[in-house]
Structure 1
C-alpha cells in the first residue's frame, strides 16, 4: 500500500507581496478603463460640419481640395501668394467644419492646411 507522497507544501506569499499584487492589478485595470473611456469620449458628440456650407466649398471651382488621413489642404487654383496657414481644429470638432470659415482665406491666395488631430482631440 504505497500511497502517493504528499506534494511539498506550497510557499505562501507574504502579506506585503499580496497587497502589492492587488494594488498593481487594480492600477492596471484602472488604466485600461481610463483608456477605453478616453477613446469613447473622443468619438461621441463630435461636432460635424454643416452640410450646405461644406457643399459650397467642395463645389467652389477656385479651391482645390486634397484630403488624406493627416490633413485637409485647401489651395487656391489660381493666384497663389505662397503664404500658408496651418489650422488645428478644436477638440471634438470635425476638421471639415472649418472649411467654409477658412475658404475666404483660400480665395485670397493663401493655402490652408486643416490638421486632423488624433482621436479628435487637439
Structure 2
C-alpha cells in the first residue's frame, strides 16, 4: 500500500524539487496551483507535442492565431471536458517533471486551472 501512495505522490514530489525553498514551493502550490499532475484535452488518441502546432483560441494568449511551439495544459481536466465536450474526447497526461518552473505559468481564461507552457520541449506525453 505504501508504494501505491508514494507513486501517487510522484508528480507532486517532482514539482516540489524545482524550487529552492519550501516557501517558494508553497507559494507556487497555493497561488498557481502547481500540484504536479497536468493534462491536455485532445481529439487525437495518439497526441504528441508538436513544435509546429500550438494553442489557438480567442484568449489573450494566442489572440485567435496559432502560437507554434507552445502548449496549454490543465490540472483540472473536468473543466475542459465540460467546455469541449465530444469535440475532444481524449485526455493526454503531460509529464512536466523536466520542464523548468519558469516555462509554464497559470493563466486565467475561465476554463479552470490552466497553464501556458512557453517551452514544452522537455515535456512528455
TM over 0.5: no
Normalising by structure 1, report the TM-score: 0.25
Normalising by structure 2, report the TM-score: 0.25
